[in-house]
Structure 1
Amino acid sequence: MSEHRCPALLVSAPASGQGKTSVTAALARWHRRQGRKVSVFKTGPDFLDPTVLARASGGAVYQLDLWMGGEEDVRERLHRAAAEADLLLIEGVMGLFDGSLSSADLAVRLGIPVLAVIDGSAMAQTFGAVAFGLAHYRAGLRVYGVTANRVGSDYHAQLLADSLPPDLTWLGALPRAAELALPERHLGLVAAGEQDDIDMRLDALADAWGAHARDVLPAPVGFPATHRSVFMPLLKGKRIAIAQDAAFCFLYPANLDLLRDAGAELIFFSPVAGDALPACDAVWLPGGYPELHLAALARNTRLRDALHAHVDAELPLLAECGGMLYVLDALTDRDGVTYPMAGLLQGQAAMQSRLCALGMQSVTLPEGSLRGHTFHYAQAQITRSPVALTVNPDKGPSREGVYRHHRMTASFMHLYFPSNADAAMRLFLP
């Protein structure tokens, strides 16, 4: 297996909220318009930004995370993408140097140049100082260029460009404009599938980028071949029913790929639309926004009854975060209105106005150890004692209980299946 070479950029910033997703989406859509195949990745455990980036690029967006997936997983995905793409774009997480395994760590370890995005809306010449700091804070990090977001005018953009030291390249700016903003809510960006005007916004971002874009790609980066992990297809012939709609939408493409590679047939259904449970050997209720669709979920009594029969038959069910909220007895929305849920796990939860948990997580279950993350605004009171508690590798305060009833596994933790393929497969076996 040979090395593949492909131009690549890691899009990062001094902090969250600077406009990394907007710039990455603008780049992806603009280069796609030029006839290039663009493969986009997201650093960190994010479900929402990738939906926008997938729409912009026209392809699935996979996670790259040195802790959650491991370096071999990261290198394998980049090697495969570089064989087919004309440009690789990786959106970073938080600020460039934030976290124990930061976006800068990824860039240095893999030799990928950085495109620094800085919100210039409230600064002028200080822009150059911030850019200089990002470029020179860490030895071995290469900043390819700098772009400004939310500039007020051409004159403002010129002030920012003129402030850069000679060794940093100005790559242009995106203006501050309502039509370029990507809508948000309590967990982050609104998923692309819920935005009727998403293509109009992405085209506007690409138009704004194209006003100054130079049709020049960064120098190719070499991505060596890796030893691809091989696992036994333990799920051969198994039918896994997966909830997928506006209430249950947090699905890593890598998790779905792993289940398919393990031999499973995936059947998708919509609890919000009133679908019954398909004939299946296992069920997966992923995270999402059940709190925004409580009336529809409460009405779907056919599904509730079928899930009870499924669990009572000691067949596997995995309920993650929003999925766990759904399997409780009741869930209260932010307005204080309580709705009955599936009643598979004794307890109830209520949505809060403030974030309740955030951070990477690992957990050891009878099936093996898995990694993932937690991020939610719900507070739950669950009667059953947990069979395990998750651990935050950064020693943060967030620890989640994992609950079992027969072969049902429920937790606020979102699992990243490639962190332990064997353990992930066994969650879907009787």
Structure 2
Amino acid sequence: MSDTAYCPALFLSAMASGQGKTTLTAALARYHSHQGRRVVVFKTGPDYLDPQILALASGASVEPLDLWMAGDTFCREQLYRAAREADLILIEGAMGLYDGTPSSADLAVAFDIPVACVINARGMAQTVAAIGLGLARYRPEMRFHGLVANALGSERHRQLIEDSLPDDVRLLAAMPREEHLALPSRHLGLVQPGEAEDPDSLSLDARLDAAADLLEGQALTELPTAVAFEPQEIDTPPRALAGKRIGVARDAAFSFIYAANTRLLEAMGAELCWFSPLADTSLPEALDALWLPGGYPELHAAALGANQSMCEAIRHLDARGLPILAECGGMLYLQQTLTDQDGICHPMAGVLPGHGEMRTKRGCQGMQSAPLAEGEIRGHAHHHSRSHDTLEPIAYGRRASHPAPGEAIFRRGRLTASYLHLFFPSNPAAVAALLSRDAITTPSVHVERYQHAE
């Protein structure tokens, strides 16, 4: 008997960013969940925010799929596992269908998954058909399932689009212009579920339900044909962290955590000890290492700076020479100060020299790997801040598709910090070494603790 798993699957992409594909994917997941189906959703590329919305919509955790950052083997293994337990697999793309290397189209072709493309039709009608035709025919080997026209102003608007399409390009859904259903966002992307909501607006759950209701009776809700997913053997990670207690910051300020990262640490034997730099006054006991992931420290800078008991606990752990990994927001927290979007400067932990400042217009994002002494670990950058008066970098991130140096990587003793968000499964052995006391260290002349500027 074959171990091949079969499951209906659909890849939801768009002509560009900002077309409404996250709202549509979440609405479709919520629709099928209401029909009693088990829906597993994946998000293409690096993203911490969209997956939280998609998880709320589907009722199941959402994993990243990326052929560069996560690798072909990881993607195949995740899809096979999902196909064995789900009634429907949905994958939300990133940017436009053909943008990036690898692109959403590359991923869809690699796994022979049919693609539905979203186009925001505001300000055009028949042109939607021309764009849709180009998307459908650009790569003949890709299975094009059809179009979704979003932000329509009227039934006549829908009819003009549908009448312009060739017979072999279906209009799967026509979504009306409903501004009150748009998902709330800010500088790094969508607002996270669980945060305080505007009492004068629909709740996030209510928006998802309403968007799902708009799909009722439309062709998009028909289950696509089943896709074959083959089993994939993956290497068992080394038990290199057996018996190690790793403190992991997790709260409203530090929430950019891939489940694949925590699963890997546990598979390597680590015990994860969660704590909140916002609410707790001390670290968990008997830690062997500390991981400060990214998030939104700029939104909680006053509370983080006021919690000097936690700052002192982290300074003490660092002084003992325990491994610390600080990613993006975690690095900003360890520096001397952080200036928020209102221009207010707040004291931070003062473990590292440096001052973080939020920027309103320019940001940095993209795939990069960290060339560390322990080994190269793939990941990405996504931030709207800058740091100055820092340590001298030990290295710079290597961009996936550009020769220019990427994010600076700082190290002092066993502390490693950078704007990079690392995807641990890309190099388990390097991650284990990074979080081990006996790993490679980089000497530095900066040995004192750094206090915030008065």
Q: Same fold (TM over 0.5)?
A: yes
Cα distance change of structure 1 residues 276 and 191 upon mapping to structure 2, 3 Å threshold: same
**Secondary structure in 2 aligned to 1:42?**
strand
Matched, 1:240 2:240: no
Deviations 1:135-172 (A, max 9, x none): 00112011112111111122222222222110012211
Where in structure 2 are the equivalents of 1:162-311 lying within 5 Å?
Answer: 162-194=163-195, 196=197, 197-212=203-218, 216-279=222-285, 280-311=287-318
Where in structure 2 are the equivalents of 1:91-170 lying within 5 Å?
Answer: 91-170=92-171
Is residue 180–residue 205 contact of structure 1 (8 Å, CA) maintained in 2? Answer: yes
Bigger mean CA offset, 390-399 vs 96-105: 390-399
Give the equivalent residue in structure 2 for 1:320: 327
Give the equivalent residue in structure 2 for 1:346: 353
Is residue 287–residue 321 contact of structure 1 (8 Å, CA) maintained in 2? Answer: yes
Is residue 281–residue 316 contact of structure 1 (8 Å, CA) maintained in 2? Answer: yes
Q: Work out the CA distance in 2 between the residues paired with 1:153 and 1:51.
A: 32
Percent identity, aligned pairs only? 52
Amino acid at match of 2:123: A
Q: Work out the CA distance in 2 between the residues paired with 1:32 and 1:308.
A: 46
Correspondent of 1:384 among 387, 391, 399: 391
Is residue 239–residue 282 contact of structure 1 (8 Å, CA) maintained in 2? Answer: yes
Is residue 358–residue 373 contact of structure 1 (8 Å, CA) maintained in 2? Answer: yes
Where in structure 2 are the equivalents of 1:351-430 lying within 5 Å?
Answer: 351-395=358-402, 397=404, 399-430=406-437
Q: Work out the CA distance in 2 between the residues paired with 1:245 and 1:373.
A: 21
Amino acid at match of 1:401: A
Deviations 1:371-415 (A, max 9, x none): 000111111114321122111121065611111122111100000
Q: Work out the CA distance in 2 between the residues paired with 1:355 and 1:211.
A: 42
Where in structure 2 are the equivalents of 1:330-345 lying within 5 Å?
Answer: 330-345=337-352
Shift of 1:216: 2.5
Is residue 312–residue 406 contact of structure 1 (8 Å, CA) maintained in 2? Answer: no
Q: Work out the CA distance in 2 between the residues paired with 1:204 and 1:130.
A: 28
Amino acid at match of 1:183: P
- Unmatched 5+ residue regions in structure 1? none
TM-score, with structure 1 as normaliser: 0.97
**Secondary structure in 2 aligned to 1:298?**
helix
Amino acid at match of 1:229: D
Deviations 1:245-291 (A, max 9, x none): 11111111111111111111212222122442111221111111111
**Secondary structure in 1 aligned to 2:90?**
strand
**Secondary structure in 1 aligned to 2:194?**
helix
Q: Work out the CA distance in 2 between the residues paired with 1:355 and 1:34.
A: 43
Give the equivalent residue in structure 1 for 2:451: none
Give the equivalent residue in structure 1 for 2:336: 329
Shift of 1:186: 0.4
Is residue 377–residue 430 contact of structure 2 (8 Å, CA) maintained in 1? Answer: yes
Give the equivalent residue in structure 1 for 2:12: 11
Where in structure 2 are the equivalents of 1:51-90 lying within 5 Å?
Answer: 51-90=52-91
Q: Work out the CA distance in 2 between the residues paired with 1:163 and 1:215.
A: 22
Shift of 1:72: 0.8
Q: Work out the CA distance in 2 between the residues paired with 1:299 and 1:214.
A: 50
Bigger mean CA offset, 256-265 vs 84-93: 256-265
Q: Work out the CA distance in 1 between the residues paired with 2:355 and 2:222.
A: 55
Amino acid at match of 2:284: P
Q: Work out the CA distance in 2 between the residues paired with 1:398 and 1:29.
A: 42
Bigger mean CA offset, 16-25 vs 396-405: 396-405
Amino acid at match of 1:245: D
**Secondary structure in 2 aligned to 1:237?**
coil
**Secondary structure in 2 aligned to 1:370?**
strand
Q: Work out the CA distance in 2 between the residues paired with 1:122 and 1:230.
A: 53
Cα distance change of structure 1 residues 127 and 214 upon mapping to structure 2, 3 Å threshold: closer
Cα distance change of structure 1 residues 214 and 298 upon mapping to structure 2, 3 Å threshold: closer
Q: Work out the CA distance in 1 between the residues paired with 2:48 and 2:354.
A: 27
Is residue 179–residue 204 contact of structure 1 (8 Å, CA) maintained in 2? Answer: no
Q: Work out the CA distance in 2 between the residues paired with 1:75 and 1:330.
A: 43
Q: Work out the CA distance in 1 between the residues paired with 2:81 and 2:132.
A: 32
Shift of 1:238: 1.5
CA RMSD of aligned residues (A): 1.4
Deviations 1:314-357 (A, max 9, x none): 11111100000000011111222111100111111211112232
Amino acid at match of 1:60: S
Is residue 290–residue 325 contact of structure 2 (8 Å, CA) maintained in 1? Answer: yes
Deviations 1:80-107 (A, max 9, x none): 1100001100000110000121001111
Q: Work out the CA distance in 1 between the residues paired with 2:358 and 2:338.
A: 8
Cα distance change of structure 1 residues 388 and 215 upon mapping to structure 2, 3 Å threshold: closer
Shift of 1:224: 0.6
Q: Work out the CA distance in 1 between the residues paired with 2:177 and 2:220.
A: 21
Q: Work out the CA distance in 2 between the residues paired with 1:313 and 1:274.
A: 20
Amino acid at match of 1:146: L
Cα distance change of structure 1 residues 315 and 153 upon mapping to structure 2, 3 Å threshold: same
Deviations 1:34-69 (A, max 9, x none): 110000000010111000000001111000000001
Aligned residues: 430
